[in-house]
A and B are shown apart, each in its own frame.
Chain A
């Protein structure tokens, strides 16, 4: 069973994603902010991380930066969730090593296809 970590400060959004992923046979773990998210990432070494960009204290970019510095976590596929739709934001995320962007509000299909693609890519590369 693939392990996915969701870092999202909006409770309902986080809950709904965990529910969706659980229903789709993923092992989903949730964190409400960046710091606990990083702790969980190092603890579980998930197969994929879904992370909100805009969060208090440590935002999405901060989380990504820390993960990319550690060899253990540097290759974990990383999907950004963002409420922003401007192209600048995409570029910044991609440059930093994010693999996918999913813009809020997203459909079930959007999220699942993004996860599926990243999983395949990751499997291929390993």
Chain B
């Protein structure tokens, strides 16, 4: 569990941060207001500085705080120290000297950790210089006797205070200077007398520079004050022009005004600025022409008053005026000597805040800002302060010109004149509406936070670093039959529930960790329950919030789940099927050993977990017979998310897998799926064998039925002949001549012979079908054999066919089975005779090729339809065009079996109505073959 995700805690922190920021803002404002008052002269500077230091000390929780100022010897010494400072003998000043260079450049010294001080183990410093017009006039030093990271906000605050202090100090010193000067300065009205001596005395003693220059601007006379101001000896000055004494630019300017005065013969007063030896001085020069009693212009006289210091003071005052005018705070000055305290000055910020223009409000009492809302408690505070002529800060509900409300934080200070009589009040108003709103929001946030904390089903508490409760939520209090208030301020183990809990908290505070968590068992209402306690520090690590979540049920469930999972895992691992479970992103969640074995994956099933399915694509491509089809099917299954069972897959290596797919839904949401693969290669093999056997059985059945239908037709016909002929003989022979009787007897014999032949054929094919055809090759001359056979046939069959036997070989000594050879020749030749016109020619050729005898029997008969060719050698199959030509459909089947037994070949070429050619190739020297190969040959 992580705290970062806890909304109520975040709320709490943001609230805490907001408070801190607001507090800091308020404090800063307070301190700055204080200083501004000092600048208005209503407060004594030393008091202000002291209070500022004290304020800073508290605000930033310092060990010490001080202001350095130069002493008479221009050495920086500690001038003010915060009153709370315990140890005044610290080393701040040491560091101050050390960083003198940096401070004169205006850069603050920020030392979060100083280790090498022998007396104190660790301390930290922050020194901010007081700088006026690039002059280093002092510094504010902050000291902390432990390590401290000075925050940017803190540094900013001190810098702001420093700049205000600077202004206050400078202003005060200037005001003092001005007053001192006023006292010393006696406005000299030169009184002219006839007596030159008197004049000379006046001139000699005048603090102003008095000079006389001739028509060319050369000095003829200069008094001692002038000599001192110009910084040269009288000899160096007399006879020189201003251009020689000052820079060209200054000299020219003086000469120009001199000329004007001389030309116009008038007295004029100028403000002149001179620059000499790096000093810039401003003089008020009164010039008048020096005219003789005869009216002749002799030169020019000038009296120059050094007003450099006045200028500076004026400049500074103007700056303050501007500052007041530019201030974002509304500033009001009220005349306390007039009845009903009318406003005599408001700055632009006041206009901006209130919406009233200066013309509208000057001369009025500022109470109109309250509108009708005059019963505010803060108003009484203000009135009291005004009665008592003291300063105060109040927060008022004021109304703008357009009637809208704004919260005005008004700080009022009395201003007294040098006699200590109240003359004015200065009011500084600040629109704190947004702050007020922020405060309201903060309160809301606090309420909200409390509501959230109470709503949290866990136990929530706040504990500070001295291990006492600062607060708990209702849930926690209720768990111990108490109220939340009962906990505040109590030590954490006051309930003595669990010492382990207090131990954890104290360890947590002792550690540097910001957050920590621990499982703790707590007895609540007589039942021991497990809590996961999560602690998080806040408030500069001085407090912590703790959240306890009841995990008793979860632990129990986890245990049950673990047990179930372990049982399932064992089951899956031992299943005789490859299991692969993928999550909804098709990452492997589970696989078993059988899966790895089946898919030839060398790594362990555990190593697959988390892998993406894409890594298995190579595997698929390698393993499956049709990887593309496989991939497509997978995509289809995944898209449908329907259970799929017993899908067969062919593998490249000949194995067959059966696949099941089961989508997994957790609370109705698809969250993955399970693949189950079974190797069914063996089963498929057995199935194939069974199917083959069945086919064989079926073939035999068909053979049998074909045999039955053949016999019913082919046997009944000769039997009919036999029966009818014999009955004719029986009933009518006495009427017949011997010859006719003989005809019927021959018919009977022929029919019997035909039937015998058919039976023989059936027997042979029966033997051949079961592979029991005798094979007994004997040496024989094939040419002789053929001739002999032909003779025999021509004798037996009363036919008009011409059988044209041709062979280039007189003799072909060979080794063949006579019986089988006879079957081959007899059947082929008798077919040629049977299916061709009588008197047509049959070509019978015998040749030898590479130890093979090649027999060609070519007729000019009806031919064989191409549709019948594939089944030509099947038993009982007869071509569709045989008509009523008798036949059993066994002859060619026997031929084929006999050729096969000889390991020969037979080919047929035929064209309907043109003729048929059979070509038989037989090895000349056949050997008795092994029983095995013999078996094999007939094994189908």
B750 to chain A, nearest CB (A): 8
Closest to A55 in B: B884
Residue of A nearest to B722 (CB): A105
Taken together as a complex, chains A and B put the C-alpha atoms of A46 and B747 apart, in Å, by 28
Assembly CA distance A105 to B725 (angstroms): 11
Partner of B884, one of A9, A23, A106, A108: A9
Does A83 interact with chain B (Cβ within 8 Å)?
yes
B712 CB contact (under 8 Å) in A9, A16, A84: A84
From A56, A84, A85, A105, B720 is in contact (CB under 8 Å) with A105
Are A12's CB and B721's CB within 8 A? Answer: yes
Whether B735 is near chain A, meaning CB under 8 Å from some CB there, is yes
CB <8 Å contact, A106 and B723: yes
Please report the C-alpha to C-alpha distance between residue A108 and residue B726 in the assembled complex, in whole angstroms. Answer: 10
A12-B725 contact given A56-B883, A56-B884, CB 8 Å threshold: yes
Residues on the B chain within 8 Å of A23, using CB: 728, 731-732, 735
Which chain A residues in 1-52 approach chain B with CB under 8 Å?
A: 9-10, 12-13, 16-17, 19-20, 23, 33
Q: Are A105 and B719 in contact (CB under 8 A)?
A: yes
Map CB proximity to B onto A61-96 as digits: 1 under 8 Å, 0 otherwise. Answer: 000000000000000000000011100000000000
Chain B minimum-CB-distance residue to A33:
B884
User: A23-B735, A56-B884, A105-B716 known; A12 and B747 CB under 8 Å?
Assistant: yes
> A119 interface residue, CB < 8 Å from B?
no
Q: Does A57 contact B (CB under 8 A)?
A: yes
Q: Which residues of B contact A16 (CB under 8 A)?
A: 720-721, 724-725, 728, 744, 747
Q: Which of B674-728 contact A (CB under 8 A)?
A: 712-713, 716-717, 719-725, 727-728
Q: How far is the CB of A94 from chain B (nearest CB, A)?
A: 20
Residue B751 interfacial (CB < 8 Å): yes
Name the CB-closest residue of B to A32: B884
- From known contacts A55-B884, A56-B883, A83-B713, infer whether A106 and B720 are also in contact, taking CB-CB under 8 Å: yes
Nearest to B740 among chain A residues (CB) is A19
Most buried by B among A13, A17, A84, A107: A13
Given A10-B721, A56-B884, does the pair A85, B727 have CB atoms closer than 8 Å? Answer: no
Number of B interface residues in the complex (CB < 8 A): 22
Residue in A17, A85, A105 whose Cβ sees the most chain B Cβ within 10 Å: A105
**Given the complex of chains A and B, what is the CA–CA distance between A124 and B678 in angstroms?**
80
What 0/1 readout, one digit per residue, does chain B (748-761) give for beta carbons within 8 Å of chain A? 00110000000000
In the complex, chain B residues whose CB is within 8 Å of the CB of A17: 724
Task: Name the one of A19, A57, A84, A106 contacting B883, with C-beta atoms under 8 angstroms.
Answer: A57
Roughly how many angstroms separate A104 CA and B751 CA in the complex, as a whole number? 14
CB distance from B397 to the nearest CB of A (A): 119
Is A83 touching B883 in the complex (CB atoms < 8 A)? no
Q: How far is the CB of A90 from chain B (nearest CB, A)?
A: 14
A residues in contact with B720, CB < 8 Å: 10, 13, 16, 83, 104-106
Smallest CB–CB gap between A27 and chain B, Å? 17
Q: Distance in Å from the Cβ of B929 to the closest Cβ of chain A?
A: 41
- List, in ascending order, chain A residues with CB within 8 A of B883's CB: 56-57
Give Cα A54–Cα B885 distance, bound, in whole angstroms: 12
Q: Please count how many residues in chain A sit with their CB below 8 Å of the partner chain's CB atoms.
A: 23
When distances are taken between beta carbons in the complex, the residues of chain B under 8 Å from A57 are: 883
Give the nearest-CB partner of A17 in chain B: B724
A13 to chain B: which residues have CB within 8 Å? 717, 720-721, 724
- Check if A104 sits within 8 Å of B728, measured CB to CB: no
B553 CB → nearest A CB, Å:
80
- Choose from A12, A56, A104 the contact partner of B716 (Cβ within 8 Å): A104
Task: Contact check, B728 vs A19: say whether CB atoms are below 8 A apart.
Answer: yes
A31 to B727, CA, bound (A): 22
Min CB gap A32→B, angstroms: 8
Evaluate whether A83 and B724 lie within 8 angstroms (CB atoms) in the complex, with A23-B731, A56-B884 already known: no
Nearest A residue (CB) for B715: A83
Cα distance, A83 to B721, chains bound together (Å): 12
What residues of A have a CB within 8 angstroms of the CB of B750 in the complex?
12
Give the docked Cα–Cα distance between A108 and B728 (Å).
Answer: 8
A9 to B731, CA, bound (A): 25
Contact of B723 among A33, A54, A83, A107 (CB under 8 A): A107
In contact, B727 and A108 (Cβ under 8 angstroms):
yes
In the assembled complex, which residues on chain B have CB atoms less than 8 Å from the CB atom of A19? 728, 732
- A83 CB to nearest chain B CB (Å): 4
Q: With A9-B884, A12-B751 as known contacts, state yes or no: A54 contacts B713, CB within 8 Å.
A: yes
Interchain CA distance A85-B708 in the complex, whole Å: 11
Tell me the bound Cα distance from A19 to B731 in angstroms.
11
Nearest opposing residue in chain A for B731, CB measure: A108
How distant is the Cα of A55 from the Cα of B717 in the complex, in angstroms? 12
Query: Which residues of chain B are near A107, meaning CB under 8 Å?
Result: 723, 727
Alpha-carbon distance A62/B731, docked complex (angstroms): 34
What per-residue 1/0 map shows which CB atoms of A89-117 lie under 8 Å from chain B? 00000000000000111111000000000
Name which residue of chain A comes closest to B750, CB basis: A12
**Min CB distance, A82 to chain B, in Å?**
9
For A103, the closest partner residue in chain B by CB is B716
* Residues of chain A contacted by B731 (CB below 8 angstroms): 23, 108
Using CB atoms, name the residue of chain B closest to A15.
B747
Cα A57 to Cα B712 in complex, Å, equals: 21
A12 closest partner in B (C-beta): B721
Chain A nearest CB, measured from B677 CB (Å): 52
Indicate whether A104 sits within 8 Å of B727 (C-beta atoms), given known contacts A23-B732, A57-B883, A83-B712.
Answer: no
Q: Which of B717, B725, B732 contacts A10 (CB 8 A)?
A: B717
A85 to B713 CA separation, bound complex (whole angstroms): 9
> Please, how many angstroms separate the alpha-carbon atoms of A45 and B919 in the complex?
52
A25 to chain B minimum Cβ distance, whole angstroms, is 12
CA distance A111 to B750 in the complex (A): 23
Closest residue on chain A to residue B724 by CB atoms: A16
A13 CA to B725 CA in the complex, in Å? 9
Residues of B within 8 A of A106 (CB): 720, 723-724
Using a CB-CB cutoff of 8 Å, which residues 189-235 of chain B contact chain A? none
Task: Give the distance to chain B from A5, nearest Cβ to Cβ, in Å.
Answer: 18
| Residue of A with least CB distance to B732 | A23
Query: Which chain A residue lies CB-closest to B714?
Result: A83
Considering residues B723, B725, B735, B744, which has the most beta carbons from chain A within 10 angstroms of its beta carbon? Answer: B723
**7 more A-B residue pairs beyond the given contacts A23-B728, A108-B724, A108-B727, with a C-beta to C-beta distance below 8 A:** A13-B724, A16-B744, A23-B731, A23-B732, A55-B884, A83-B716, A108-B728
16 contacts between A and B (CB under 8 A): A10-B884, A12-B747, A16-B720, A19-B728, A20-B728, A23-B731, A23-B735, A54-B713, A57-B883, A83-B713, A103-B716, A105-B722, A105-B723, A105-B724, A107-B727, A108-B728
Chain B interfacial positions (CB closer than 8 Å to A): 712-713, 716-717, 719-725, 727-728, 731-732, 735, 744, 747, 750-751, 883-884
The 5 closest A-B pairs by CB, nearest first: A56-B883, A16-B724, A83-B716, A105-B719, A105-B720
